[in-house]
């Protein structure tokens, strides 16, 4: 960029307008304060007019949603303009990072906005006795995820099982963990269900919630070649795993044993042994909130 000071020398016909611009620049309170603070000489000021002009232009564009804020600084004895990240950018980057760490499948996108602290803990604690065992257990996991066991959360329709775990997942994702929350019946009904890459992605997630297990159309192949593979990997690597279900563990075992190919109690027991290893069973009581 050609310096304004040189423009003054090389284009006499523009001297008046550029002098006016120079006055405008130097009359700006932020620039005046910067000059005084850094004790700039007339020569330094003249050489810096183009930078001051750039600063003013960018400062006029700046607003509450700007990603960068222009900042005047001294760089090797010369005035320069740098661009500082704003709180708006930092907040949005954090939200994008959170979105990347929390993957949903077959569930409402609104689950990504559920706050454990504000929407659940502060609102429900000491008000709903039927939820307190689950809330205390989840809070303990949020406090120390690395040394925790997952939860098998079961109860009637609409009591808030998925909602509670969505709040937990948001908190864990906010702490830097990669999380997936998957509606299990939707997962096994996809056209590419069972693809090795998809199963690998699910089984390796740092935190995994399999929602509504037992609500799927059960098949021996899905039970033995997908679900058991996922659970075996997670058991071997001590990865945090959670389930929601309308069935107790005992009832889920009965359901997993029954497929259109017949009844296989041992195959169901093998799956349940892994679920029991990974989780503690908690019954969530309460009214059906979907009808409120």
Q: Do 247 and 169 fall within a single domain?
A: yes
User: Which one of 65, 85, 105 terminates a domain?
Assistant: 85
Pairing of strands 262-263, 207-211: unpaired
User: Which one of 85, 116, 150 terminates a domain?
Assistant: 85
Pairing of strands 68-75, 78-85: antiparallel
Given the structure tokens 């910067």, which residue do they identify? 34
Q: Which residues of the chain have pLDDT under 50?
A: 1-5, 7-8
Given the structure tokens 């830097």, which residue do they identify? 176
Given the structure tokens 């310096």, which residue do they identify? 3
Q: Quick: pLDDT tens for 3-52.
A: 444 544 555 555 666 677 777 788 888 888 989 999 888 888 888 888 98
Q: Do 134 and 150 fall within a single domain?
A: yes
User: In sequence order, what are the residues at sequence separation of 6 or more whose Cβ sits closer than 8 angstroms to the Cβ of residue 238?
Assistant: none
Domain total in the chain:
2
Q: Do 76 and 187 fall within a single domain?
A: no
Q: Quick: pLDDT tens for 258-277.
A: 988 888 999 999 999 999 99
As separate numbers, helices (DSSP H) first and strands (DSSP E) second, the chain gives 15, 10
For position 1, what pLDDT does the model report? Answer: 41
- Structural domain for 271, as ranges: 93-291
For position 124, what pLDDT does the model report? Answer: 63
Q: Do 179 and 242 fall within a single domain?
A: yes
Spatial contact of 153 and 74, defined as CB atoms under 8 Å apart: no
Q: Do 73 and 142 fall within a single domain?
A: no
Q: Do 18 and 138 fall within a single domain?
A: no
Q: Do 99 and 152 fall within a single domain?
A: yes
For position 14, what pLDDT does the model report? Answer: 56
User: Which one of 46, 61, 85 terminates a domain?
Assistant: 85
For position 8, what pLDDT does the model report? Answer: 44
Q: Do 184 and 217 fall within a single domain?
A: yes
Q: Do 99 and 20 fall within a single domain?
A: no
Q: Do 80 and 98 fall within a single domain?
A: no
For position 286, what pLDDT does the model report? Answer: 73
Q: Do 184 and 230 fall within a single domain?
A: yes
For position 125, what pLDDT does the model report? Answer: 57
Q: Do 285 and 220 fall within a single domain?
A: yes
The domain spanning residue 173 has which CATH number?
A: 3.40.50.300
């Amino acid at each position: 960029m050609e310096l304004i000071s040189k423009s003054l020398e090389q284009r006499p016909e523009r001297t008046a307008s550029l002098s006016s611009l120079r006055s405008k620049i130097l009359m700006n309170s932020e620039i005046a304060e910067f000059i005084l603070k850094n004790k700039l000489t007339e020569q330094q000021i003249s050489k810096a007019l183009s930078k001051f002009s750039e600063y003013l232009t960018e400062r006029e564009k700046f607003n509450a949603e700007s990603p960068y804020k222009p900042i005047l600084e001294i760089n090797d004895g010369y005035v320069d303009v740098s661009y500082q990240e704003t709180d708006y950018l930092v907040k949005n980057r954090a939200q994008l990072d959170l979105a990347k760490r929390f993957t949903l499948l077959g569930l409402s996108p609104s689950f990504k906005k559920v706050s454990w602290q504000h929407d659940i803990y502060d609102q429900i604690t000491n008000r709903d006795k039927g939820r307190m065992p689950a809330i205390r257990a989840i809070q303990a996991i949020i406090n120390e995820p690395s040394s925790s066991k997952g939860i098998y959360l079961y109860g009637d329709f609409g009591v808030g099982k998925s909602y509670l775990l969505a709040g937990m997942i948001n908190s864990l994702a906010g702490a830097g963990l990669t999380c997936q929350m998957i509606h299990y019946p939707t997962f096994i009904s996809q056209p590419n269900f069972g693809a090795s890459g998809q199963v690998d992605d699910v089984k390796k997630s740092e935190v995994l919630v399999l929602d509504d297990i037992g609500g799927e159309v059960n098949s021996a192949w899905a039970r033995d070649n997908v679900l058991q593979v996922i659970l075996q990997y997670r058991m071997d690597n001590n990865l945090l795993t959670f389930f929601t279900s309308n069935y107790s563990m005992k009832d889920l075992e009965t359901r997993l044993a029954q497929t259109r190919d017949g009844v296989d109690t041992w195959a169901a027991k093998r799956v349940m042994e892994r679920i029991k290893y990974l989780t503690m069973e908690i019954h969530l009581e309460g009214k059906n909130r979907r009808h409120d």
